[in-house]
Structure 1
Amino acid sequence: MMSKTLIVLLGPTGVGKTDLSLNLAEYYKCPILSCDSRQLYRQLVIGTAAPTPEQMSRIKHYFVGTLDITDYYSAALYEENALKLMENLFLTHDTLLMTGGSMMYIDAVCNGIDILPTVSEEIRTATLEKYRNEGLDAICEELKKLDPVFYNQVDLKNPKRVIHALEICYMTERPYSELRTNTKKKRPFDILKIGLRREREELYQRINNRVDEMIKEGLVEEARNVYEHREMNSLNTVGYKEIFKYLSGEWDLDFSIEKIKRNTRVYSRKQMTWFKRDSEINWFYPEEKEQIISFIDSKLYGKK
């Protein structure tokens, strides 16, 4: 009997994952599991380049438009939900396809993440208030006192990571670093990672063009519709943050658009830096569809 296999199609934003994922899903007759941490939210369609209704009608998608922007979600919850779903889907499919560019979500499914306690609403609220009232430097100093080891490892310019570590410290009364084992978990299925790449200038041009298209499709209005919730973590993302600056009168629209393009390009570099550390990824260019299918077939059907 053929082993169960999860194909993971990954790559930086704007590289062309969506079109190829549809082709692969049709070829292997399987659904698509999105691992995009923002396409989960039903109000964020244009700014996340979510699959269109036509694309969703072609192939069954999961984890697209299933949450409200006020809902709490995390990589740990995604790992739990995705594994449970795959257990059911593998009953009727030998192959499944997961696609997206959210690095933490991909790692959560492929490698597992440490089991940490659920943070209480009281601690989450108090920590967020501390950040809002006292600023990033203050919460970094607090982390330095409670967990100097993680303080020296974390990106101190990333408030989300600092806040999460502090929440765990408060919740457990132990350093966050003591609870992180980074032990890879064994999965009851094989994992085959396909990475898509483009030459940098080509990727940057695609990103610029896609931002222009999002503006034409109504990104400003979409951001205006969720503006009152702009402090939610779900909206702490490129595309919306810059438009919020325009809506608040801090920036003009042209400047906001240029900042979206720049920040998206920066994010794509961060994605590639993260992915390049993973030796399990098999890299292709998006136009190499036949080569990709041949490669996957050799891995799937070459198994005895």
Structure 2
Amino acid sequence: MSKTLIVIVGPTGVGKTELCLQVAEHLGVPIVNADSRQIFAEIPIGTAAPTAIQQERVKHFFVGNHHIDDYYSASMYEEDVMHLLCDNLFQTSNVALLTGGSMMYIDAVCNGIDDIPTIDDNTRQWMKQRLEDEGLERLVEELKLLDPEHWNIVDKKNPRRVVHALEICHMTGKTYTSFRQNEKKQRPFNIIKIALNRDRDILYERINARVLQMIDQGLEQEAMSVYDKRHLNALNTVGFKEMFEYLDGLTTLDQAIYKIQSNTRRYCRKQLTWFKRGQSIEWFNPDNYEEIIKYIDKKLID
């Protein structure tokens, strides 16, 4: 049998965790996590990371294996996962399972990602200060001068993308465009892609309920424990941004909860749009476990 990577994706709150535990148990394989925030050990509640009990059921990779002040990128993740798959998991099994909702991480493993240089701390802090002092519009105009090709395609209302391109320009003396190859890498294994979705009303209800569950589990206390590191990129994410506003006294707890629910639903829509762009992907309701297993088993035989 050829080596095969099964990739199961889906929006936040859809029910990936339990479904993938069942699939992993059926196949007798561990789970390779593809969530860019669940890799950080300090924030398991806010990232809905697999619990200790779930990790006892099935071995997980890339869960809580980094700290929030570690620098980590999609290109580093690609390298780490390829090493794990080719030099470890595929040495003892013909099948591996990767799952998560981080679009960039999934794409990095399936298609490869450009090797963009890591930004040094001085450049990062300098550009962050410039964004605060000069504003986004001024930086967009600068990008037009330094890298007009990327300026033509970048989301000019997204400060992170504009700033990152300028960081590369200033740190390397080269354009951001020069590092972007956009060439799909060939993988030494087959890829089976499965996407999960539910009726939108049900999905939104699940998201709202999960946010309340996080509050009950101690999200406020978790946010307080990392409050002094709120400037870190690892914490620039839904759940923590809203809780930090609450801890700053800018909102009430109820308002923070409402914002987390609303912003999570917005992120969910963004994930679905991204996943629907993918080719050769089969969609299922995560409750249809037997149908999913039948599809996987058939694809592995074909």
TM-score band w.r.t. shorter chain: over 0.9
Superposed, 1:27-42 pairs within 5 Å as 27-42=26-41
Segments of 4+ in structure 1 off by > 6 A? none
Rounded to whole Å, the distance in 2 between the matches of 1:134 and 1:232 is: 21
Superposed, 1:71-86 pairs within 5 Å as 71-86=70-85
2:259 matched to which residue of 1? 259
Shift of 1:115: 2.0
1:70 matched to which residue of 2? 69
2:268 matched to which residue of 1? 268
1:239 matched to 2:239? The reply is yes
Rounded to whole Å, the distance in 2 between the matches of 1:47 and 1:80 is: 26
Rounded to whole Å, the distance in 1 between the matches of 2:267 and 2:228 is: 25
1:52 matched to 2:51? The reply is yes
> Residues 20-69 of structure 1: CA distance to partner in whole angstroms, max 9, x if unpaired?
11001101111101100000100111111000000001111010001111
The 3-state SS of whatever aligns with 1:9 is strand
Which residue identity lines up with residue 201 of structure 1 in the other structure?
Answer: D
Which residue identity lines up with residue 279 of structure 1 in the other structure?
Answer: Q
The 3-state SS of whatever aligns with 1:91 is helix
Which residue identity lines up with residue 66 of structure 1 in the other structure?
Answer: N
The 3-state SS of whatever aligns with 1:122 is helix
Rounded to whole Å, the distance in 1 between the matches of 2:92 and 2:287 is: 30
1:197 matched to which residue of 2? 197
2:113 matched to which residue of 1? 113
Rounded to whole Å, the distance in 2 between the matches of 1:133 and 1:76 is: 30
1:8 matched to which residue of 2? 7
1:187 matched to 2:210? The reply is no
Which residue identity lines up with residue 165 of structure 1 in the other structure?
Answer: A
1:178 matched to 2:178? The reply is yes
Shift of 1:220: 0.7
Single out whichever of 176-185 and 73-82 deviates more from structure 2.
176-185
Rounded to whole Å, the distance in 1 between the matches of 2:233 and 2:18 is: 28
2:60 matched to which residue of 1? 61
Name the % identity: 56
> Residues 88-121 of structure 1: CA distance to partner in whole angstroms, max 9, x if unpaired?
1110111111110000000000000112233333
Shift of 1:157: 3.1
Which residue identity lines up with residue 271 of structure 2 in the other structure?
Answer: Q
Shift of 1:82: 0.7
The 3-state SS of whatever aligns with 2:91 is coil
1:207 matched to 2:207? The reply is yes
Rounded to whole Å, the distance in 2 between the matches of 1:218 and 1:136 is: 36
Rounded to whole Å, the distance in 1 between the matches of 2:261 and 2:221 is: 18
The 3-state SS of whatever aligns with 1:12 is coil
> Normalising by structure 2, what TM-score?
0.96
Shift of 1:206: 0.5
What RMSD in Å do the two structures reach over aligned CA positions?
Answer: 1.3
Rounded to whole Å, the distance in 1 between the matches of 2:63 and 2:134 is: 35
Shift of 1:288: 1.1
Runs of 5+ in structure 2 lacking a partner?
Answer: none
Superposed, 1:108-147 pairs within 5 Å as 108-147=108-147
Shift of 1:5: 0.7
Which residue identity lines up with residue 200 of structure 1 in the other structure?
Answer: R
Rounded to whole Å, the distance in 1 between the matches of 2:153 and 2:246 is: 34
Shift of 1:144: 2.3
Shift of 1:150: 1.8
Which residue identity lines up with residue 24 of structure 1 in the other structure?
Answer: V
Which residue identity lines up with residue 3 of structure 2 in the other structure?
Answer: K
The 3-state SS of whatever aligns with 2:249 is coil
Which residue identity lines up with residue 79 of structure 1 in the other structure?
Answer: E
Which residue identity lines up with residue 59 of structure 1 in the other structure?
Answer: V
Number of positions where the alignment pairs a residue of Structure 1 with one of Structure 2: 301
Shift of 1:266: 0.4
> Residues 133-175 of structure 1: CA distance to partner in whole angstroms, max 9, x if unpaired?
4333333332222122222322233322222211221233222
Single out whichever of 140-149 and 16-25 deviates more from structure 2.
140-149
Shift of 1:287: 1.1
